[in-house]
């Protein structure tokens, strides 16, 4: 009797998404399909998601350096490297979900790589402007833009993760600074110095997020205490209805928007306006979204408490 052949269904690209609601149009139709193919290749090569993150960071840092030169051809080469870096940045997460290697350490390395990429972009754009005769005040302008970028990115990531957690579909909960601080204290600076350093960076990142969104932090803590970490259907739906329509605005504070504006300004030969774009329109949107989300979080936290007391 012939042996029975078992056919295993090939993984679908949707299985490597965080959730379709938090994906942008460019991600869904460009970066995610490319990332899915790259993830399949990296899985065959036995590469880890962390290794892909570091490769993405290397490409991105090189791209930032190429933005220093006042030559459009060299800048275009940088743009190509930047797009490759973003594709790899998508692929590392997709590889982690495809091979079930999702971990906090992987998320930390990915975050560090992302910060290094845009640090390279900001430093080299500032040097370009300085060498072109800009006022020394360019350094203050760039610093203000970089700080704004860091805070906007932290908040956008926090609210996107919160949507996945409260509205359903999240594989993991939201990291809290108290839990991270406890884990940090357990590590020594001896043989696990690298892990302790990474966790210190992630703890600082999480503290920034909680500082920016105290209402969301309180909602999460109340839900964990009152609901024991189990999000009921009524809260999932309430959160989805209240926060879902704001996701498209939070996406404007993510990488794709910055890259498109930066590329346009490089083509125009006016990269200095990238700093002003960060400082004025993106900060205005940032403040507006924070205010809306915090009001929503406060309302839902009160609702959770009211339902619990009845």
Q: Which of 62-66, 99-103, 132-136, 200-204 has the highest mean pLDDT?
A: 62-66
Q: Looking at residue 171, what is its pLDDT?
A: 52
Is a pLDDT exceeding 70 seen at residue 172?
no
Query: How does pLDDT run across 210-269, given as a tens digit for each residue?
Result: 999 999 999 998 988 888 878 888 999 999 999 988 988 999 999 999 999 999 999 999
Overall average pLDDT of the 7-34 stretch: 74
Q: Mean pLDDT over residues 131-137, rounded?
A: 93
Q: What percent of the chain has pLDDT over 90?
A: 60
Share of the chain above pLDDT 70, in %: 93
Reported confidence tier of residue 176, pLDDT bands at 50, 70, 90: confident
Q: Report pTM.
A: 0.88
Q: Are 42 and 52 in contact, with CB atoms under 8 Å apart?
A: yes
More confident residue, 210 or 23: 210
* pLDDT mean across residues, the chain: 89
Average pLDDT over residues 141-169: 91
Q: What is the mean pLDDT of residues 262-279?
A: 96
Q: Is the pLDDT of residue 309 over 80?
A: no
Q: How many CB atoms lie within 10 A of CB 256?
A: 16
Query: What's residue 195's pLDDT?
Result: 87
pLDDT 10s digits, 56-114: 999 999 999 999 999 999 999 999 999 999 999 999 988 988 888 888 888 888 888 99
Angle at 122 between CA 151 and CA 92, to 5 degrees: 70
Q: Which of 165-169, 217-221, 264-268, 283-287 has the lowest mean pLDDT?
A: 165-169
**Statement: residue 180 has pLDDT above 80:** yes
């Amino acid at each position: 009797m012939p042996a029975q052949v078992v056919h295993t269904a090939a993984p679908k690209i949707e299985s490597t998404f965080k959730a379709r609601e938090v994906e942008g149009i460019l991600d869904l139709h460009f970066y995610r399909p490319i990332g899915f193919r790259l993830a399949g290749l990296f899985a065959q090569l036995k590469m880890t998601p962390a290794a892909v993150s570091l490769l993405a960071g290397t490409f991105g840092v090189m791209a930032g350096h190429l933005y220093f030169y006042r030559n459009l051809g060299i800048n275009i080469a940088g743009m190509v490297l930047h797009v490759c870096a973003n594709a790899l940045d998508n692929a590392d997460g997709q590889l982690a979900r495809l091979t079930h290697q999702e971990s906090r350490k992987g998320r930390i390395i990915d975050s560090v790589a992302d910060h290094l990429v845009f640090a390279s972009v900001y430093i080299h754009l500032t040097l370009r402007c300085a060498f072109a005769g800009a006022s020394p005040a360019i350094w203050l302008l760039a610093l203000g833009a970089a700080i704004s970028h860091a805070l906007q990115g932290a908040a956008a990531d926090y609210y996107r993760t919160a949507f996945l957690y409260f509205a359903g579909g999240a594989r993991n909960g939201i990291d809290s600074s108290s839990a991270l601080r406890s884990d940090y204290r357990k590590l020594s600076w001896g043989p696990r110095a690298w892990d302790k350093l990474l966790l210190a960076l992630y703890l600082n990142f999480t503290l920034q997020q909680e500082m920016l969104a105290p209402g969301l932090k309180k909602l999460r803590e109340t839900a964990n205490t009152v609901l024991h970490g189990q999000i009921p259907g009524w809260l999932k739906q309430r959160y989805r209805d209240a926060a879902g329509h704001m996701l498209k605005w939070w996406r404007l504070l993510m990488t794709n928007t910055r890259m498109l504006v930066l590329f346009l300004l490089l083509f125009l030969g006016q990269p200095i306006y990238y700093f002003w774009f960060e400082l004025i329109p993106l900060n205005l949107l940032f403040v507006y979204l924070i205010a809306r989300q915090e009001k929503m979080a406060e309302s839902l936290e009160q609702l959770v408490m009211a339902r619990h007391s009845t």
